[in-house]
């Protein structure tokens, strides 16, 4: 394995992002800068990495994740459309605790508050003792059979299952030690809020966060399928790299170029002659954005496998467009790829695909 410990930080990041799965984890573990690199990883890269190797094999890396990265992982992995996938959400919460219970309390404390309330509602039933004479065990109608428990004699909890009860204990105890006032406020809101209204509130904020991460709402994403002809693309604005620059310190997502099998495709030959590293970085950003939109527009599940398949679809459509625009002339297609936005090439490819007979359609694996 490459000994990246001798590489400068920027080269370490580049090497890590060009690897996938277990190799990426191994490279991270051999880097003396892991605590610096992991927080810099784009959310999509971290999500795919965990999806490829599994949560258990990623624990040592996730120790260095930020609260914002954890929030994005929940946003991507814990929802089915507009409904919380409770088993999935609490499985991620368990992973957070498995990494480090004390750090989990700190991360949880920084999660979106509406989402934190929703997690607590999904995990336990709650009651507040009104006065010292109240017998909370008998006076309150507990929904389950497990014995309620408390940390402070005021707020009582009952896990909705034995597994969830253990998870709640592992979360609430260090969270109370970190900020008892936060736990009290969390409980008050969780007891007062209707679960359906809490789901709506958390989902609305989640949609805004995902849009900021490049996952737009369905109404915006579906526009990627607007038809566009080869003659029309020539009249559209050409590439303007400055629109993609963003923060120069941002780490560019690489997964679109390393997860998609381009073997045998015309675009592979086209890209082989492009030595402009800046263009390749910009093209990777475009592919990532397009793949996100395709996944949402196609109403695919928010899963790493579906994102990889969306990348494959995007590349296949751009490949069709380049074949047609270049008329199978590699150099002409290379000019087109570096002239037109990937978004517009995708639209041309989709329009061409709709005209192809069934026998000529690109076949997915």
Write out pLDDT tens, residues 291-303.
999 999 999 988 8
- Report whether pLDDT(306) > 50: yes
Task: Specify whether 142 is located in the same domain as 164.
Answer: yes
Pair (36, 173) in one structural domain: yes
The whole-number pLDDT of residue 292 equals 94
Per-residue pLDDT at 248 exceeds 70:
no
For residues 200 and 134, state if they share a domain. Answer: yes
pLDDT of residue 175: 97
Domain that holds residue 202: 4-210
Structure confidence at residue 277 (pLDDT): 86
Is residue 68 pLDDT above 90, yes or no? yes
pLDDT tens-digit profile of 250-265?
788 888 887 777 778 9
Same domain (yes/no): 204, 229 = no
As a dihedral over the C-alpha atoms of residue 160, residue 162, residue 163, residue 165, rounded to 10 degrees, the angle is 60
Banded model confidence at residue 365, pLDDT cuts 50, 70, 90: very low
Q: Assess whether 258 and 205 both reside in one domain.
A: no
The model's confidence at residue 192, banded by pLDDT at 50, 70 and 90, is very high
Of 239 and 247, more confident: 239
Mean pLDDT along residues 205-217: 93
Q: Is residue 363 part of a domain?
A: no
Candidates 200, 179, 169, 167; CA nearest to 92 is: 167
The better pLDDT of the pair 365, 99 is held by 99
Is 157 part of any domain?
yes
Q: What pLDDT shows up at residue 18? A: 87
Query: Taking 80 as the threshold, does the pLDDT of residue 133 lie above it?
Result: no
The Cα–Cα gap between 101 and 116 comes to 16
- Please compute the mean of the pLDDT values over residues 30-56 and round it to a whole number: 91
Q: Which of 194, 210, 226 is the last residue of a domain?
A: 210
β partners of residue 168? none
CA distance 126 to 150: 10
User: Which of 210, 227, 249 is the last residue before a domain boundary?
Assistant: 210
**Do 15 and 96 fall within a single domain?**
yes
Tell me, yes or no, whether 362 lies in a domain.
no
Total domains in the chain come to: 2
Q: In terms of Cα–Cα distance, which of 209, 108, 114, 125 is closest to 159?
A: 125
Classify residue 251 as exposed, middle or buried by CB count within 10 Å of its CB (0-12, 13-18, 19+).
middle
Indicate if 154 and 262 belong to the same structural domain.
Answer: no
Decide if 360 is inside a domain. no
Consecutive H or E run containing 101? helix 101-110
pLDDT at 5 over 90: no
Percent of the chain with pLDDT over 90: 74
Rounded average pLDDT over 197-223: 95
The pLDDT, as a whole number, for residue 160 is: 95
Q: Are 4 and 12 contacting, i.e. CB atoms less than 8 angstroms apart?
A: yes
Q: Are residue 196 and residue 330 in the same domain, yes or no?
A: no
Mean pLDDT score of the chain: 91
Q: Where are the beta strands (DSSP E) in the chain?
A: 79-80, 83-84, 124-128, 149-150, 155-159
% the chain with pLDDT above 70: 95
Cβ atoms within 10 Å, residue 213 = 16
> For the residues 139-159, what does the mean pLDDT come to?
91
148 inside domain: yes
User: Within this chain, do residues 175 and 30 fall inside the same structural domain, yes or no?
Assistant: yes
| Dihedral angle computed from the Cα positions of residues 224, 230, 234 and 236, in that order, rounded to the nearest 10 degrees | -20
Residue 364 lies in a domain: no
User: By CB neighbour count within 10 A (0-12 exposed, 13-18 middle, 19+ buried), where does 135 fall?
Assistant: exposed
Q: Work out the average pLDDT over 25-39.
A: 95
Last-in-domain residue among 210, 225, 251: 210
Please indicate, yes or no, whether residues 17 and 150 belong to a single structural domain of this protein. yes
Compute the average pLDDT of residues 4-9: 90
243: pLDDT strictly greater than 70: no
pLDDT tens string 136-147: 877 788 999 999
- In this structure, are 139 and 92 located in the same domain? yes
Cα gap 88→172, rounded to integer Å:
19
Q: What pairing do the DSSP bridges indicate for beta strands 79-80 and 83-84? A: antiparallel
Pair 200, 220 in one domain: no
Q: What is the pLDDT of residue 16?
A: 93
């Amino acid at each position: 394995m490459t000994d990246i410990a001798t590489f400068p930080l920027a080269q370490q990041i580049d090497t890590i992002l060009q690897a996938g799965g277990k190799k990426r984890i191994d490279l991270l573990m051999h880097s003396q800068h892991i605590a610096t690199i992991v927080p810099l990883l784009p959310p999509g890269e971290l999500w795919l990495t965990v999806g490829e190797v599994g949560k258990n094999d990623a624990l040592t890396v996730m120790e260095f994740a930020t609260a914002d990265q954890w929030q994005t992982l929940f946003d991507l992995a814990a929802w089915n459309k507009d409904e919380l996938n409770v088993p999935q959400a609490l499985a991620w919460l368990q992973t957070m605790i498995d990494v480090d219970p004390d750090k989990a309390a700190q991360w949880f404390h920084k999660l979106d508050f509406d989402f934190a309330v929703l997690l607590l509602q999904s995990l336990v039933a709650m009651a507040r003792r009104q006065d010292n004479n109240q017998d909370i065990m008998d006076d309150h109608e507990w929904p389950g059979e497990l014995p309620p428990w408390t940390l402070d004699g005021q707020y009582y909890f009952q896990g909705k299952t034995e597994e969830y009860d253990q998870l709640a204990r592992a979360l609430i105890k260090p969270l109370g030690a970190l900020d008892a006032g936060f736990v009290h406020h969390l409980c008050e809101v969780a007891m007062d809020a209707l679960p359906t209204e809490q789901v709506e509130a958390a989902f609305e904020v989640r949609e805004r966060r995902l849009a900021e991460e490049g996952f737009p709402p369905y109404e915006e994403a579906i526009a990627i399928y607007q038809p566009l002809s080869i003659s029309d693309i020539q009249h559209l604005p050409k590439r303007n790299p400055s629109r993609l620059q963003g923060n120069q310190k941002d780490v560019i997502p690489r997964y679109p170029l390393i997860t998609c099998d381009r073997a045998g495709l015309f675009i592979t030959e086209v890209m082989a002659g492009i030595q402009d590293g800046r263009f390749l970085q910009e093209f990777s950003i475009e592919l990532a954005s397009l793949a996100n939109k395709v996944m949402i527009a196609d109403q695919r599940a928010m899963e790493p496998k579906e994102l990889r398949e969306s990348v494959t679809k995007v590349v296949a459509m751009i490949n069709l467009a380049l074949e047609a625009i270049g008329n199978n002339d590699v150099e002409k297609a290379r000019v087109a790829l570096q002239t037109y936005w990937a978004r517009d090439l995708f639209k041309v490819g989709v329009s061409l695909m709709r005209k192809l007979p069934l026998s000529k359609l690109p076949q997915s694996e």
